[in-house]
Amino acid sequence: MQVVVTGMGMVTPLGVGVDETWRRVVAGHNAIGPIQRFDPTGFDVGFAAEVADPGWPSAFPVAGLPQALQPLAGDLKGRLAAWALAEALLAAGWDVAPGAADPRVGVCVGSEAARPPLSALHERLQDPRPPSAAEVLVHAPEAPTLLAAAMAGAGGPRSTISTACTSSSQAVGEGLLRIRRGEVDAMIVGGADVLVDPIMVTGFSLLGALSTRNDDPASASRPFDVDRDGFVLGEGAGFLVLESAERAARRGATPLALLSGFGCSCNAWRITDSPPDGRGAAQSMAAALLDAGLTAGDIGYVNAHGTSTQQNDASESAGIQRVFEGHRPAVSSTKGLMGHLVAACGAVEAILCALAVRDGIAPVNRNLDRPDPACDLDLVRGEARRGPIRHAMTNAFGFGGSNGTLILSRPGDPA
């Protein structure tokens, strides 16, 4: 059974919406700069890739949500998810009747627990009133999942995946599998994360995972470069509408891409490190190719996880070399442009692969001045590379050893 993408929506540090983000990705723009959300004085790292609060999407009125669920869009993470969801549903021509709960439509979202501002926590502690259920849930990992189900009128299976940086990649893959198994006809899938806060900046700094190029934030995220020194915190949301090809045809919906393959694995190695030989990454990529019925030579572009840490980039490169052997697809990591969106990165980068296939454009590796000899890949340098791409692969690898790989193809191609 073919599963197609009929709607896509995203909010990233590069812009609000698919078109704006993609335009800036193709141009190689940078979204990393000094932190504005809080005063980073005294922190080891004073920069990030932040998203400005876009508010509620006016094209999708909040009045359309059940009143009890409206507070789920009351924080920044909820509003980013709402924007991306609204764009995806509108692009798909999704028609939701008030109070609808279609049992043939499911939801799966990748999400981590939100972190309310310390000022909000202080105010809550001073308030003698017991919190409402919505006030408790708004910061829970499943808040975007509940929001997606309400906005889409989805009454089918609903689940939340929390596997760090692999969360939304695996959520998209889970949607693919549920449709193929015949459990549902459509799935709303994606992820959202908001990371730029004092706790997360401190935590990742203590792990030694963040770049400390405070004097030049724009050059801080440099995947596969020999001088890389850590990743840059980003944030955002990305959602896709997945449907069986038959359902999409019945609705008269235009497929934007074919979701042709999914693979996942666990390194069973260490919490923050990946095996130097890249075996977990290779297993995930090989599984996705097998699932799609493709060979390594069919892949024209790989959107790498490429976090800009010494260990991750070398391990992923080893994994790509193992899977592709003599084949050398174009490879880039868009984290050099917008930082690391963690739980949202898999879904956002899947959308970028759908666009790469649509337009025949492989995005550039920003800040790749001196490629690391250990990362011997066909890395896109200088500017985006143009040429036909029938199939694109995207990787996501998370703390704890979780790996996820998705393959996006041209609509109508066999898979």
Helices (H), 208-294: 245-251, 279-292
Is 390 within 8 Å of 358 (Cβ atoms)? Answer: no
Start-to-end CA distance of the chain, whole Å, equals 9
Which of 318-321's residues contact partners 24+ apart within 8 Å by CB, and which partners?
A: 318/276, 318/277, 318/278, 318/281, 318/282, 319/277, 319/278, 319/279, 319/280, 319/281, 319/282, 319/284, 319/285, 320/278, 320/281, 320/282, 320/285, 320/377, 321/278, 321/376, 321/377
C-alpha angle with apex 375: 288 to 385, nearest 5 degrees? 75
Beta-carbon-side half-sphere exposure of residue 415 (alpha carbons within 13 Å): 30
H-run or E-run covering 406: strand 402-409
**DSSP per residue, 13-29:** TTEESHHHHHHHHHHT-
**CA pair distance 9, 164, nearest whole angstrom:** 21
From the candidates 305, 345, 353, 375, give the one annotated as an active-site residue: 305
Active site residue 165: yes
Using an 8 Å Cβ cutoff, are 142 and 77 in contact? Answer: no
Q: Which one from 340, 353, 375, 391 is the annotated catalytic residue? A: 340
Q: Among this protein's residues, is 122 annotated catalytic?
A: no
328 in Cβ contact with 378 (< 8 Å): yes
User: DSSP letter at 214?
Assistant: T
Copy the structure tokens of residue 272: 């923050």
CA distance 31 to 264: 30
Greatest distance between any 2 Cα atoms in the chain: 66
* Residue at token pair 């959300």: 37
- Catalytic residue numbers read 165, 305, 340
